[in-house]
Amino acid sequence: YDDQKKLGFAIVGLGKFAQEQMMPAFKDCKHARITALVSGSPDKAKKLAAEYGVEAKSIYSYDNFDSIKDNPAVDVVYIVLPVGLHAEYTVRAAKAGKHVLTEKPMANTPEDCQKMIDACKKANVKLMVAYRAQYEPFNLDAIARIRKGELGKVMQITADHGRIVDPTGDKADTWRIQKKLAGGGSLMDLGIYSLNATRYLTGEEPVEVTALEMSDKADPRFKEVEDRIHFTLRFPSGILATCTSSYSTEGVKRYRVFGDKAWLDLDPATDYYKHNMTIGDKDGERKISLKEGNQFAAELDHMAECVLQNKTPKTPGEEGLKDIRLIMAIYEAARTGKKVKV
Ligand code: NDP
């Protein structure tokens, strides 16, 4: 592929996920390359610029970020900042006339999500939320099997996501326990994978939610954000989903879809590299073998293709807003102990 024909991406926020997963994935992209870096840490930015072949004049700070509008090498701004900063940088990028890819969860509140959608619409630029699982081969295969009726009529789903949040061991967890920067706790960060999966697996939007929350307020990690939250969703066709989200149990990222003929299990379902699918019915179970793909590169290429072909992204701002609205309904259900209609 001709490197000069690829769209230029500016990476905003050079943290753990950007450095360890997303930036290395560009080497597998057909339509995307890194052409600018935006960071509050000049030394780190300089080092990464050298590594990725980014010109010194295309390194920005948060203060001079708006001057990116004058950089023709930048087509897309990719926001990999703490959640509470996504809205501000999306609006600033749109004002600079750049297309926006933002990490999940989209923003702290539905109001912020709406501001992001409006700003991008006004500037006539694309807005996509980085829901990598929706570009990942095993998840896409699960959706295709369900749509083909391989499980029969889908009746219920269980989905679990959790990991131990530990700001003393991992700097990237420092902002995750601050309400202002994270928007919330495990539900915003991890439970969103369970929630988003129930929506893409069913192809339906939930109509009712219930929830229970449990956080040890004596634990310094949970002064501002929640630890565990369990929620149930009812879908229009009658499908029920039971989801768990946790910041105090180790490594789970799985779901299981139960139809009236068969069930499909993906565990892990939302790992970076490894997925494991099993389908079972009354006669037994079988493993499904499928080639792992680079979901990060697929996601970046999708963004680039949408810009190149003037298409709406498969996971646009509206998709991010739907999850944030549902997350607010789940918090309300947990707080009030009542069913919340959505
Ligand atoms: P990190 O803390 O490792 O990175 C965030 C970066 O943002 C920092 O390194 C820093 O970069 C910059 N930053 C600017 N202001 C602040 C601030 N006030 N506090 C902290 N950092 C700041 O977090 P992650 O990489 O884990 O997460 C970044 C984003 O990516 C989040 O939106 C998160 O939800 C998302 N994410 C998505 C995943 C996925 O699978 N899709 C997985 C993990 C995270 P600099 O020094 O360059 O300014």
Please state the domain extents for the chain: 3-131+296-314, 137-292
Q: Which atom of ligand 1 is nearest to the CA of 14?
A: 47
If one residue of 80, 113, 303 were mutated to test the ligand 1 pocket, choosing by the most ligand atoms within 8 A of its CB, it would be 80
- Give the per-residue pLDDT at 276: 98
Type of residue numbered 229: I
Q: What gap in Å lies between CA 89 and CA 152, rounded to an integer?
A: 44
Q: What percent of the chain has pLDDT over 70?
A: 100
Residue having the nearest C-alpha atom to atom 12 of ligand 1: 13
- Give the per-residue pLDDT at 219: 98
Residue having the nearest C-alpha atom to atom 19 of ligand 1: 175
Instruction: Check if the beta carbon of residue 155 is closer than 8 Å to that of residue 259.
Output: yes
User: 4-25 pLDDT, tens per residue?
Assistant: 789 999 999 999 999 999 999 9
Provide the annotated active-site residues: 104, 193
Pick from 315, 201, 334: which is nearest to 326 by CA?
334
What is the CATH code for 137-292? 3.30.360.10
Q: Does pLDDT of 58 surpass 90?
A: yes
Q: Residue 229 C-alpha to ligand 1 middle, in angstroms? A: 23
- Give the per-residue pLDDT at 3: 75
Tell me the mean pLDDT in the region 62-84: 98
User: 123-158 pLDDT, tens per residue?
Assistant: 999 999 999 999 999 999 999 999 999 999 999 999
Q: Is the peptide bond before 206 cis (omega within 30 degrees of 0)?
A: no
Q: Does pLDDT of 89 surpass 90?
A: yes
Q: Does pLDDT of 1 surpass 80?
A: no
User: Does the Cβ of 29 fall within 6 Å of ligand 1?
Assistant: no
Q: Residue 17 C-alpha to ligand 1 middle, in angstroms? A: 7
- Average per-residue pLDDT in the chain? 97
User: Does the Cβ of 84 fall within 6 Å of ligand 1?
Assistant: no
Q: Does pLDDT of 27 surpass 80?
A: yes
In this prediction the ipTM stands at 0.99
User: 92-124 pLDDT, tens per residue?
Assistant: 999 999 999 999 999 999 999 999 999 999 999
- Give the per-residue pLDDT at 285: 98
User: 259-316 pLDDT, tens per residue?
Assistant: 999 999 999 999 999 999 999 999 999 999 999 999 999 999 999 999 999 999 999 9
Tell me the torsion sign for CA atoms 204, 296, 21, 69.
negative
Q: Residue 274 C-alpha to ligand 1 middle, in angstroms? A: 23
Residue having the nearest C-alpha atom to atom 17 of ligand 1: 82
Q: Residue 234 C-alpha to ligand 1 middle, in angstroms? A: 33
What is the CATH code for 3-131+296-314? 3.40.50.720
Q: Which atom of ligand 1 is nearest to the CA of 171?
A: 2
Instruction: Check if the beta carbon of residue 297 is closer than 8 Å to that of residue 81.
Output: no
- Give the per-residue pLDDT at 2: 75
